[in-house]
Structure 1
Amino acid sequence: MMDSTPNVTLNASFPITTTTTTAVPSTFIQLNSREPTTKDAELTPNFDEIIKDTGNEQQQDPEKQLQKILDCVLPPRRIEEGGQFFVQRASPTPTTRLDLIALQEKFEAILANARAKPFGICPIRRRIYDDLFDELIRQVTVSCAERGLLLLRVRDEIRLTLLAYQGVLESAIAYGIRKAVAVERHQTNAIVERDAEKQKNVQLNAKIEQLNKQIATERLVKEEEVKLLERSMRDENERLLESNRTLKMHLQSIIQMDQQNGPQPSEIND
């Protein structure tokens, strides 16, 4: 069994980053009993103050120092019940092998009950793993504060990386949506232009059909006029021929009469 109050010392030169974690998730993390607090009480200590306190080892309480570090690593959770406020902090109690086995079984059970996807993007699985990682950071911090702070930096870096990937994904999705909207708009404009061209084509075809009918009608009219003109000219030609024959016969009859009525040669000699 590990000592429940290990000696905690922090080097002032040890690199520390402030975590952006909000409340302590209660899925896996071992918590202390509730403590009364006020609504405006400051729950999360400052890392700089903890480093200053480590310089005076005579006034340093290892258990309180460890609790302050845990409060920085895993911010306490404020609870309100019946108008009263309570605070629940991460437990500084070390973890045994049996606790780890129980934690693994609980982890597998929660994954199964939450129906988390085994592959791909799954917010449920990510939240469960985040809670488990926070409990592991708590366990490591209890044993070695510096190692726990390093794991805290690893966790924050992973979260920043995930946020960066999420930003890239959101940008890609936004770009895809913009392109889809642009394509849809262009497609809509193309459809409108196509419909306008179709309507114009229909109008032109109707005009062509109308002109063809007009040409056919005018052709019939002109053909009828030509036929009437040919008939008129043929009748006029026949009339002229008949008149010519009549005049020719009349002329011949006149000539014959003149020949018959002309003077005899003997009469001319006398």
Structure 2
Amino acid sequence: MSNLLQLQSDEFETYTQLPALIQTPQGYYPCEQQIERSEIQNLKREFEYQLNSRSAFQYGLCPVRSEIHRELFDELVREVYLDQAETGAVLARVRDEAHMTVCNYQTLYETTLDQVQNMIGTAEENIVEMRQKMDSLIDENRELKHELMLANAQLEQMDQNSKYLQQVAEKRITEDKQYLNKQIEQLQHSVEALRQHFKENPEILQLLDVKKE
């Protein structure tokens, strides 16, 4: 076991940091003995129990789930490292690269989330402003409709007054025309009566001529 610890220390200088061996009262883990199927099933049940007992989220970003998977991956690295040190070191590097990629994606997610929240905040402010503007336009539209209704009422009243005045004027013209026609007719009768009278009494015309001389 001391050779294993020394080999791990040497690989740390050459490749990358490997998960430390876990020391328990029963010894160091992992051991070099081949694991049995029952132990794998127990490990699976323990893995699922840890996920459930620590309330790990099944989807999305979950630090608890990430930590449990990291511990499981570290155990796999230890198992591989016991058989093939170089393969274990490469697998550890793959683990580190995967962890770095996840961290980058998490940073990108958080940055994007902040931007989205800022956009949502700006959109909410714009929505409030647009609602206020919409309410103002609704009030203005209501006032314009009221003014239009008053204008239509005034226009209708003016139209009625105009028709009434036109009817009064037409009636007066008709009455004046009838009156003038009646006067003309009376004058014509008077002239005709005078002419007939002069015709029947020619001496009147002679007297008028004498008076003129």
Bin the TM-score by the shorter chain.
0.5 to 0.7
- Name the aligned partner's letter for residue 157 of structure 1: E
What is the CA–CA distance in structure 1 between the aligned matches of 2:108 and 2:150, rounded to whole Å? 62
Partner of 2:30: 95
Higher mean displacement: 174-183 or 9-18: 9-18
- Name the aligned partner's letter for residue 93 of structure 1: Y
How many residue pairs end up in the alignment?
A: 197
Question: Cα offset for 1:161?
Answer: 1.3
After TM superposition, list the pairs within 5 Å mapping 1:30-49 onto structure 2: 30-31=22-23
What is the CA–CA distance in structure 2 between the aligned matches of 1:13 and 1:5, rounded to whole Å? 15
Partner of 2:200: 260
Question: Cα offset for 1:152?
Answer: 4.4
What is the CA–CA distance in structure 2 between the aligned matches of 1:107 and 1:195, rounded to whole Å? 58
- Name the aligned partner's letter for residue 97 of structure 2: E
Is this contact kept in 1: 2:30–2:78, CA < 8 A? no
> Does residue 15 of structure 1 match 2:7?
no
- Using structure 2 for the length normalisation, give the TM-score: 0.65
DSSP 3-state at the match of 1:263? helix
- Name the aligned partner's letter for residue 206 of structure 1: H
What is the CA–CA distance in structure 2 between the aligned matches of 1:239 and 1:182, rounded to whole Å? 83
DSSP 3-state at the match of 2:96? helix
What is the CA–CA distance in structure 1 between the aligned matches of 2:114 and 2:49, rounded to whole Å? 37
Q: Where does the alignment leave 5 or more consecutive residues of structure 1 unmatched?
A: 34-90, 265-270
- Name the aligned partner's letter for residue 30 of structure 1: I
Question: Taking CA–CA contacts closer than 8 Å with sequence separation of 6 or more, which of the two structures ends up with the larger relative contact order?
Answer: 1
Question: Cα offset for 1:179?
Answer: 4.2
- Name the aligned partner's letter for residue 181 of structure 2: L
Is this contact kept in 2: 1:116–1:125, CA < 8 A? yes
The structure richer in helix per residue is 2
Is this contact kept in 1: 2:16–2:93, CA < 8 A? yes
Partner of 2:209: none
Is this contact kept in 2: 1:141–1:147, CA < 8 A? yes
Is this contact kept in 1: 2:22–2:30, CA < 8 A? no
Is this contact kept in 2: 1:138–1:148, CA < 8 A? yes
What is the CA–CA distance in structure 1 between the aligned matches of 2:67 and 2:93, rounded to whole Å? 18
- When residues 13 and 122 of structure 1 are mapped into structure 2, their CA distance, relative to the original with a 3 A threshold, is closer
Partner of 2:51: 111
What is the CA–CA distance in structure 2 between the aligned matches of 1:245 and 1:176, rounded to whole Å? 99
- Name the aligned partner's letter for residue 2 of structure 2: T
> Does residue 170 of structure 1 match 2:110?
yes
Is this contact kept in 2: 1:92–1:142, CA < 8 A? no
- Using structure 1 for the length normalisation, give the TM-score: 0.54
Partner of 2:65: 125
* Superposed CA RMSD: 4.2
What is the CA–CA distance in structure 2 between the aligned matches of 1:106 and 1:207, rounded to whole Å? 79
Q: Alpha-carbon deviations, 1:149-188, whole Å to 9, x = none?
A: 6554443322211101112222333343344445545555
